[in-house]
Amino acid sequence: MRPARRQIYMTDNLALSDVMLIIERMTPKPDEIAQNDAGNAPLPSAAAAAPVGNSAVSVPVAEMVHLRGLADRARDYVEAASSANTRLAYASDWKHFSGWCRRQRLDMLPPDPQTVGLYITACATGEATGTPNAVGTIERRLSALSWNYAHRGQVLDRTDRHIATVMAGIRNTHGKPPRQKEAILPEDLLAMLETLDRGCLRGIRDRAMLLLGFAGGLRRSEIVGLDVGEAQSEDSRGWIEILDKGMVLNIRGKTGWREVEIGRGSSDATCPVVAVETWLKLARIAHGPLFRRVTGKGKAVGADQLNDKQVARLVKAAALAAGVRGDLSEDARGALFAGHSLRAGLASSAEVDERYVQKQLGHVSAEMTRRYQRRRDRFRVNLTKAAGL
């Protein structure tokens, strides 16, 4: 007598994680199959997920075994849907929220707008963190809660008045203009390059990173995420192609792929293409991540790509060493510079049509590009004089 065919019900509103869990629970295990074959007894019936409306579809378990491979692939795609840094931040925010709920003896599940409204209030006042969170931090925490709830098959309604109204009040009360990093201008960059040791691999690598990041208007994650060739590392965000007249970067961003063209410089000393070629030659890199850790007192090169925080540390250290913004104290100067300083520097100093800068930075709108232009075009259009004053 053949074992009875167990049935489960998959509904339209089941989350992907629920489907994976069902597959894992419902797939017969080898010892279970052997036991039932020996006794000719039917497998125990499984509890079915409650159908919703008319969307329930009966699916025999025997026909779902092949979905295990798809479930594994689906997990990979879920991981690829967001960056590693985003997932780490969202996991940290979820842990923070769950700890606060536990201390307040409030339930995390199901999502309750009133609970979330109290939580963001505690973040804004500092009761949840010790010091008040900035508005941007609170907005990120809200995004993290929405993301985590969605991955549990539940929806957090951020338009609910207990969240939306409280958040609007927080913005009006605590909102401040965005604190932008100082732009690294060409003369600053040249001074920073002079502080690097050209006689060691670390200095040669850092030189290539600064020049490439500036000329490409790249984010720090885009700089360290480049490979020498296409799809050569697991964490790749793109690759380079060195041509006679310059270099093309193929970069994967949030909205898809884009090409960044970097022409050769007016001299080898300041050319980003030459700097990258020199690094590849002396570091003997022909495959895998472009920028890697240098060890052994600057004489050995590792196999793994750099962490993107290394770019921020490099920009800050080189700017301080070069005396950029020497009119300020060292603490104030240290807070001004980071990886985005290179990106803002290109946007502020490239005297070309704005649309070319927008394309290089990968911005959807010209308005976003203008946010990166720290000094360019300020007062070029003088409406005071145009009005006759």
- Look at residue 299 in the predicted model and tell me its pLDDT: 79
Model confidence at 7: pLDDT above 60: no
- Look at residue 272 in the predicted model and tell me its pLDDT: 96
**Structure confidence at residue 285 as a pLDDT band (50, 70, 90):** very high
Q: Is residue 381 part of a domain?
A: no
pLDDT for 30-44, tens place per residue?
454 444 444 444 444
Average pLDDT of the residues in 343-348? 84
Q: Is residue 212 part of a domain?
A: yes
In this structure, the answer to whether residues 291 and 348 fall within a common structural domain is: yes
In this structure, the answer to whether residues 147 and 61 fall within a common structural domain is: no
- Look at residue 25 in the predicted model and tell me its pLDDT: 52
In this structure, the answer to whether residues 148 and 274 fall within a common structural domain is: no
Q: Is residue 383 part of a domain?
A: no
Q: Is residue 379 part of a domain?
A: no
Give the CATH number, domain containing residue 161: 1.10.150.130
- Look at residue 62 in the predicted model and tell me its pLDDT: 54
- Look at residue 1 in the predicted model and tell me its pLDDT: 46
- Look at residue 63 in the predicted model and tell me its pLDDT: 58
In this structure, the answer to whether residues 71 and 103 fall within a common structural domain is: no
Average pLDDT of the residues in 153-163? 95
| Among candidate residues 32, 61, 79, the one where a domain is terminated | 79
- Look at residue 365 in the predicted model and tell me its pLDDT: 77
| Among candidate residues 79, 99, 125, the one where a domain is terminated | 79
Domain count, the chain: 3
Q: Is residue 388 part of a domain?
A: no
Q: Is residue 207 part of a domain?
A: yes
Model confidence at 50: pLDDT above 50: no
- Look at residue 132 in the predicted model and tell me its pLDDT: 93
In this structure, the answer to whether residues 54 and 117 fall within a common structural domain is: no
Q: Is residue 273 part of a domain?
A: yes
Model confidence at 120: pLDDT above 50: yes
Q: Which structural domain range is residue 46 located in?
A: 7-79
Average pLDDT of the residues in 54-67? 55
Model confidence at 352: pLDDT above 80: no
Average pLDDT of the residues in 228-237? 89
In this structure, the answer to whether residues 192 and 324 fall within a common structural domain is: yes
pLDDT for 175-213, tens place per residue?
887 777 888 999 999 999 999 998 899 999 999 999 999
Q: Is residue 134 part of a domain?
A: yes
- Look at residue 14 in the predicted model and tell me its pLDDT: 44
**Structure confidence at residue 363 as a pLDDT band (50, 70, 90):** low
In this structure, the answer to whether residues 115 and 247 fall within a common structural domain is: no
**Structure confidence at residue 3 as a pLDDT band (50, 70, 90):** very low
What is the three-state SS of the chain?
Answer: CCCCCCEEEECCCCCHHHHHHHHHHHCCCHHHHHHHHHHCCCCCCCCCCCCCCCCCEEEEHHHCCCHHHHHHHHHHHHHHCCCHHHHHHHHHHHHHHHHHHHHHCCCCCCCCHHHHHHHHHHHHHCCCCCCCCCHHHHHHHHHHHHHHHHCCCCCCCCCCHHHHHHHHHHHHHHCCCCCCCCCCCHHHHHHHHCCCCCCCHHHHHHHHHHHHHHHHCCCHHHHHCEECCCCCCCCCCEEEEECCCEEEEEEEECCEEEEEEEECCCCHHHCHHHHHHHHHHHHCCCCCECCEEEECCCCEEEEEECCCHHHHHHHHHHHHHHCCCCCCCHHHHHHHCCCHHHHHHHHHHCCCCHHHHHHHHCCCCHHHHHHCCCCCCCCCCCHHHHCCC
The better pLDDT of the pair 140, 378 is held by: 140
Model confidence at 97: pLDDT above 60: yes
pLDDT for 298-318, tens place per residue?
778 999 999 999 999 999 999
In this structure, the answer to whether residues 194 and 91 fall within a common structural domain is: no
In this structure, the answer to whether residues 338 and 222 fall within a common structural domain is: yes
- In percent, the amount of the chain with pLDDT more than 70 equals 79
- Look at residue 291 in the predicted model and tell me its pLDDT: 97
Average pLDDT of the residues in 59-85? 72
Model confidence at 60: pLDDT above 70: no
| Among candidate residues 54, 79, 104, the one where a domain is terminated | 79
In this structure, the answer to whether residues 151 and 190 fall within a common structural domain is: no
In this structure, the answer to whether residues 296 and 257 fall within a common structural domain is: yes
Instruction: Say if pTM beats, i.e. exceeds, 0.85.
Output: no
Mean pLDDT score across all residues of the chain: 82
**Structure confidence at residue 259 as a pLDDT band (50, 70, 90):** very high
In this structure, the answer to whether residues 166 and 196 fall within a common structural domain is: no
